[in-house]
Structure 1
Amino acid sequence: MSVPSTMLWPLRRSAALDWFVRFNHEEPFLDDLFARLCEKLVDDGLPVTRATLHARGLHPQFIGAAMIWRNDSRPVQMRMITRADVESAQFQNSPIKALYEGADGVRQRLDLPTTGPEYGIYGDLRAAGFTDYVARPLVASDARRHTVTFATNRAGGFSTEDLFTLDDLLPLLSMAAEARIGRRITKTILETYVGKEAGLQILAGNIRRGAHEVIDAAVWIADLAHFSELADHAPRDEVLGVLDTFFDAMGKPIQSHGGEILKFMGDAVMCVFRLDRPEAGKRALMAAREAYRAMEAINQERRANGSEPLGYGLGLHLGEVIFGNIGTESRLDFTVIGPAVNEAARLERLSRTLGRHVVISDAFAAHVGRQELIPLGQHQLRGRDIPIELFGLPEEEGNPWSYVV
């Protein structure tokens, strides 16, 4: 006897719920999943006109993201939420804050008088013609709360059946959101602590010790001068503030021009610009110039405040490096090694002798065009049999760095 298909997979309250149970795995990203869910709800007859999903995360700059879907412009708008956002008066008087703090849910018919707190969003939604608003928590397995909201402009608002359907979705949406937020948090943590390229390698499963690839890259190594003396005598907060200031001046240009910060080594930073990326050498040079200008602005401010300027050296070289996974069996590190890395470090050390903040190798200069740079003459590098020609930035002409050994 044949068995009806509905007995093999019985229909639930809505086709949208059926789709979510069976096919949500097809959407690996939360914003895309949320958009498709909203579209399925509309196709199923629910009068959803606007929906938002507020996901809390773990990021050095943002505490989460807000995804906003509208029926008249289907792609989801994503907005990152900063710490300043959650301190604003708008957030403090919002149902999202109430749900984060433990409220079971919020529902307000916007075409009727308010029966509870008059949250600021109610006035905005009424002015836009909405008639009903529902907000519910999405509770994760670690008790972290995310939130989802639905609004409609249909006369009379949501029906009781509509609300049952939306509530039936909550446990499934919570689980689906938790998995995708967890994956996003993992990716963010890896990018923050090991870098984007290394993070992608780890997520792809390339974590075997010794796994590597050989790449051509511009190698950048920068180091603060006299940091040991500062660390020995200055207050701890001042020491940390100087480090953060220096790393911001170096790191922001690196990242904005497509470089990969591989590691911070005490008071030094190492990064690469992969030459298989468009105009990587020129981008590395632009980043070095921006970093120099940023440090000049910092030192000008320090002089005005009566503080000593920060000395530093930056070596730029170009060559073949090994980008790989090295370390012990239980503690590994993605990094670059090879002669080109050693050469960049030697260039950085030579900056103290030359009185230049930025010292550039002949190989890098040939790649980007020597006409962009100032010749510094022939110099002997440790480990080299013959002297090589070095170059500097035109910006440093007439502004020598007096380094006291």
Structure 2
Amino acid sequence: MTSPDQDPPATLSDGVVHWLTNGTRNERFIDNIFAEMCNRLQQVGIPLKRSTLHILIQHPQWLGARFKWSDGAREAETSLVDFDVRGRSEYIGSAANEIQDGASEVRERLGRDPALGRKHALYDEMRANGLTDYVAWPLYHTLGKQHLITFATDRPGGFDDAHIAALKNLLPVLALVSEIRIKNRLARTLLETYVGAHAGQLILAGATRRGTGTTVRAAIMICDLREFTRISDNWPRDDVIDLLNDYFDAMSEPIARHGGEILKFIGDGLLAIFPLSEPNACANLLHAVTEAKAAMVALNERNSATSRAPLNYGIGVHVGDVMYGNIGSSSRLDFTVIGPAVNMASRLEALTKQVGRPVLLSRDFAEQVEPAFELEHVGQYEVRGFSDPIELFAFHG
């Protein structure tokens, strides 16, 4: 046994450990580090044929991600894992299942009689591909977070003791290196989820001081669900949440597809911008509105099958300069847009009720898209907070 004053015994992977510790500081992405690590393990004589790294992520759509390296690959193959995976056969009885249930190691000698081994489709697949040995270990991060790494070989007889010792030798350093990258990605994911991709990038780049920001010329879109108060007062809570999620999916996904950024959800409303740094921003906004309208029609058809009343909405659209940046208290900030152009979009959304058109555009915005889009001129209207009447146009998509 090694005493506390002695160096640990040398292993085949010592050079790879040194590289993980000292040679990866400029690499941002764990999948690239993982693939390079696997190739380096081969170079030092470990007969690696296949390896996977499974990580849990905090994402609204995905439970985790899997990086898979195969012999000869320079890059890892990435796949996302949904939240329902733990109820499916691909997970039940797998190494990931055993590790999640508390196992500190899963070793499957694939070269022996399959009748003597574990029963799972993955083991059958690896045997069919000529693999002879498979080992999986938990990869421990701080605060009880646990991920998974696996290694497999096609060497006759499988891994020997020196190979296993070398692979185990990697785990503590790989845990540290991977945790840093995963937390960096997690920070980006959380910011993208809660404030949007562009705002998230600015915040990560250091735009966190109150009052800082920039002037952006953008098309502004404000959308609001009609009669939400009545719905929330009369429907069960879970149904209301499902309704809002479906409604926001119908509206938000087209916005994201066409280059818009949703800055906030306000109850049953949303605020989105399409920066004019993109030459087709205004046209893209109307394409998003058209697709959102179709998605709402489909949603209402589904809801009618359960006797739910159709959902209606109002959208106000304007274009102009907005202040884009940090606003709030000394300890709690919001990254958003403010300015008269935002106020105008909000007033137009409110006017959709009075005018009886679900989508209203200002003259300033209409001039950006005519004659490519067919618009209905609906006249001039007084707008609260603005001295002169505003010329309005309706868009029917």
Same fold, judged at TM 0.5 (above): yes
Instruction: Give the deviation of 1:289 after TM superposition.
Output: 0.6
Alignment of 1:350-365 (within 5 A): 350-365=351-366
Unaligned runs of at least 5 residues, structure 2: 1-6
CA distance in 1, matches of 2:78, 2:107: 24
Unaligned runs of at least 5 residues, structure 1: 1-6, 396-405
CA distance in 1, matches of 2:153, 2:82: 28
Matched to 2:42, the amino acid is V
Match of 1:213 in 2: 214
Instruction: Give the deviation of 1:59 after TM superposition.
Output: 1.0
Match of 1:60 in 2: 60
CA distance in 2, matches of 1:52, 1:11: 21
Q: Write the deviation string for residues 24-68 of structure 1: whole angstroms up to 9, x where unpaired.
A: 223221111101111111121211111100001111110110001
**Distance 1:11-1:22 versus aligned 2 partners, 3 A rule:** farther
Match of 1:164 in 2: 165
Match of 2:384 in 1: 382
SS at the partner of 1:92? Answer: coil
CA distance in 2, matches of 1:317, 1:191: 25
Alignment of 1:272-291 (within 5 A): 272-291=273-292
Match of 1:391 in 2: 393
Is residue 373–residue 391 contact of structure 1 (8 Å, CA) maintained in 2?
A: no
- Larger deviation: 157-166 or 329-338? 157-166
CA distance in 2, matches of 1:243, 1:252: 14
Q: Write the deviation string for residues 221-261 of structure 1: whole angstroms up to 9, x where unpaired.
A: 00111112222233222322222222111111111222111
Q: Write the deviation string for residues 233-292 of structure 1: whole angstroms up to 9, x where unpaired.
A: 332223222222221111111112221111111111101111213522222111111111
Match of 2:42 in 1: 42
Is residue 110–residue 122 contact of structure 1 (8 Å, CA) maintained in 2?
A: yes
CA distance in 1, matches of 2:129, 2:63: 28
CA distance in 2, matches of 1:12, 1:130: 21
SS at the partner of 2:143? Answer: coil
Instruction: Give the deviation of 1:11 after TM superposition.
Output: 9.4
CA-atom RMSD in angstroms: 2.0
**Distance 1:69-1:391 versus aligned 2 partners, 3 A rule:** same
Instruction: Give the deviation of 1:78 after TM superposition.
Output: 0.6
Is residue 327–residue 333 contact of structure 2 (8 Å, CA) maintained in 1?
A: yes
**Distance 1:71-1:206 versus aligned 2 partners, 3 A rule:** same
Matched to 1:154, the amino acid is R
SS at the partner of 2:151? Answer: strand
SS at the partner of 1:79? Answer: strand
CA distance in 2, matches of 1:95, 1:141: 22
Instruction: Give the deviation of 1:373 after TM superposition.
Output: 2.4
Matched to 1:82, the amino acid is D
Matched to 1:161, the amino acid is A
Is residue 108–residue 118 contact of structure 2 (8 Å, CA) maintained in 1?
A: no
**Pairing 1:229–2:218 present:** no
The TM-score with structure 2 as length reference comes to 0.92
SS at the partner of 2:202? Answer: helix
**Distance 1:355-1:129 versus aligned 2 partners, 3 A rule:** same
CA distance in 1, matches of 2:11, 2:227: 71
The TM-score with structure 1 as length reference comes to 0.90
Q: Write the deviation string for residues 353-380 of structure 1: whole angstroms up to 9, x where unpaired.
A: 2211111222222222334122223222
Percent identity of paired positions between Structure 1 and Structure 2? 41
